[in-house]
A and B are shown apart, each in its own frame.
Chain A
């Protein structure tokens, strides 16, 4: 922590305690947790000094769970119940998953997201990911020795709504307060940009274990503006392992393999891939359960040849993102390489050739995302120290649309729109007296609904009965700063608020989250009531602190009686929070929130006016330069 903190003029005079916040890179192959300490972003290591945590979860016969290196080491022993690369399953249905036939897991028939049968019961990818997040959270709590105010969790920029929602659900299950879902390339750009005081247009090429992202960003005086993003959420380093595996099976003329042998060979293939980064040739040796021996040599040229299509598959989204941004390769000032898979020489060469410049590799491609996430978490938690201030403007990666007649999609929000964003659309009834209508929201760029991802089906009910075509239902689609969609609807002629029933096509329903939370609490023998009370008390303290800081700054915006009402509500909440009646605390919080609504509006107004005031419009020119 800094030795002394200098309060900015206008900032709360109350001394800021350093709030503990973390950034988590939840990766396909490995995950990391980082935090900002004494102004520096650092990765938090395990007891043996390792920062990486393999994203591997093993379920034992007795129902216990093992996460990380030990689970990874033994994955060939029990591949069926040792889950690797679970990120590929997040928010996905069975039919969407590439190479699912090669996976040794026992999938359970279920609608929506896939589920796996384990000795600890049927688990969704969300629950499995939550185990990885919980392990990282525990590591952070142990290292930092205090209560975490929240976490920034990174997701591939190209993750759709279902995959983002699944990630957020996993964090909730792990007991983390999610400050923000942050796109991985954007996190990397923060780490790189702040480190190098970079200005101009940068490309972030992020090839992880199972996902590929490309983001084009403009960096200007503390603003990170994503111009366009693209990628493939099912393409990564794993696929390079798989190509080597296929090559081995063919070269060694292997018969169909048992799951244990497949996993063993895949591990050898990964090692060979990594070895080839610094060596001209790798040897792949393995003794299979059939006591058959595999002994092959793979050279760099062969490796490059068998993975060439994968490499060029990454360049298509790069071209499209550049085009979406209205730029050419030579407009890009630097290309930041992120993700362990970018260590492969053929990737470095292809990217270097495309942009006609040497890619930037001065930051550890494994750590840069976690470090950027920690830096952002620190800012969001309110540990601001004047100079460290920046603004992130990110985009939605895939267009949102609606199903219209004939199974076609109508775009509602285009890809690469800056978030948060909203769009309202009007619908009408086609039958007399119709009181309900259903709306199907999809995400993707294709024309046919069947080729896009189904996000949700909304049933609008309670429309007042009218003649056909008379009702005007205005449906508002809102995408928040996490890139998550919510929908609300209102009938315009009568002002009746139509209720919206969200039936997630993927993801977990809210009651499902509650059930899992209850189960896990019971399992941990934790007292759910105590935990809820503690959470309310923490929230109450936070609210009081924030309101008092606002009063200290902006009391002049209030009439005397308004100030009195707010002060009284604070006192009431303080008294309630000292007790152990959770309902009373929550009611007092609601009251304070109500009393401060108008105040919040005025403060926002003042803030905008202030920032625009004093600017002189000295020269108004025609915007010809566009």
Chain B
């Protein structure tokens, strides 16, 4: 094992989108427990540097694998795909239309100070996204259709952004 090993092998986990997250959590803590700089506070300078590199890598790996969107993007990257590069590919018209409708609904609820409506939108969107992530899992793990998966992931990038906008709106109402 070395510092350039991929994030899945760093935690000795199968390279797949469907991931046992509690297992990832506990493996992350185990690995960090071994490599963290606090374990090497009195070690030689070289070992301290090594420890910092490993701990940095473990943190990066954990952050990437923990969230489904970054995990999916990372898997695409490992399989030679690049989501960003194809960013200019046009989205289907009905997806974009649906996006606009969502945004209007959020703006309206926000302007009207409608906390309830924002929460409803939030829950509806999260539910919709969970279904989409399931589809991404199927495309990545079972069908190995990386082109389709990349397309779905790009949509999810939009939706994640929308979700955080609703979250921001909710926070601004609470303040």
Contacts and interface: CB of A to CB of B under 8 A. Distances in A.
Contacts of B21: 623, 625-626
Contact of B56 (A391, A478, A619): A478
A305 interface: no
B18 A620 contact: yes
Interface string B1-28: 1100000000111101111110110010
Interface residues of A, number: 53
Given A393-B32, A596-B44, A621 B20 contact: yes
A597 B42 contact: no
Given A418-B59, A421-B60, A546-B42, A608 B20 contact: no
**Which of B1, B41, B43, B171 gathers the greatest number of chain A CB atoms within 10 Å?**
B41
A327 interface: no
B59 A596 contact: no
A534 interface: no
Interface string B72-104: 000000000000000000000000000000000
B125 interface: no
Contact of B59 (A421, A542, A597, A621): A421
Given A481-B55, A626-B67, A391 B38 contact: yes
B34 interface: yes
A198 interface: no
Contacts, number: 137
B56 to A, nearest CB: 5
B30 interface: yes
A379 interface: yes
B52 A623 contact: no
A480 B31 contact: no
Given A481-B37, A605-B1, A622-B18, A611 B31 contact: yes
Nearest to B36: A391
Interface in A348-400: 376, 379-382, 391-393
Contacts of B161: none
A611 B137 CA distance: 29
B27 A615 contact: yes
Contacts of A617: 13-14, 20, 23
A611 B32 CA distance: 10
A380 B39 CA distance: 7
A189 to B, nearest CB: 15
A480 B11 contact: no
A316 interface: yes
A362 B35 CA distance: 34
A323 interface: yes
A443 B54 CA distance: 25
Interface in A282-328: 316, 319, 323
Interface in B47-65: 47, 50-52, 54-56, 59-60, 62-63
A381 B14 contact: no
Contacts of B171: 319, 323
Contacts of A621: 18-20
B38 A380 contact: yes
B134 interface: yes
Contacts of B27: 612, 615
B144 interface: no
Interface in A116-140: none
A253 interface: no
A149 interface: yes
A223 interface: yes
Contact of B54 (A604, A609, A611): A604
B63 A420 contact: no
Contacts of B32: 391, 393
Interface string A593-625: 100110011001101111110010101111111
Interface of B: 1-2, 11-14, 16-21, 23-24, 27, 29-38, 41-47, 50-52, 54-56, 59-60, 62-63, 66-68, 71, 130, 133-134, 137, 167, 171, 174-175
Interface of A: 149-150, 179-180, 220, 223, 316, 319, 323, 376, 379-382, 391-393, 417-422, 478, 480-481, 542-543, 546-547, 593, 596-597, 600-601, 604-605, 607-612, 615, 617, 619-626
Given A179-B41, A624-B130, 14 more contacts: A421-B60, A422-B56, A478-B52, A596-B44, A596-B46, A604-B34, A604-B54, A608-B34, A611-B33, A611-B34, A612-B12, A624-B134, A626-B66, A626-B67
* Nearest 3 pairs of A and B residues by beta carbon: A380-B41, A622-B18, A481-B37
9 contacts: A323-B171, A380-B42, A381-B41, A420-B55, A480-B52, A543-B44, A546-B44, A608-B31, A622-B134
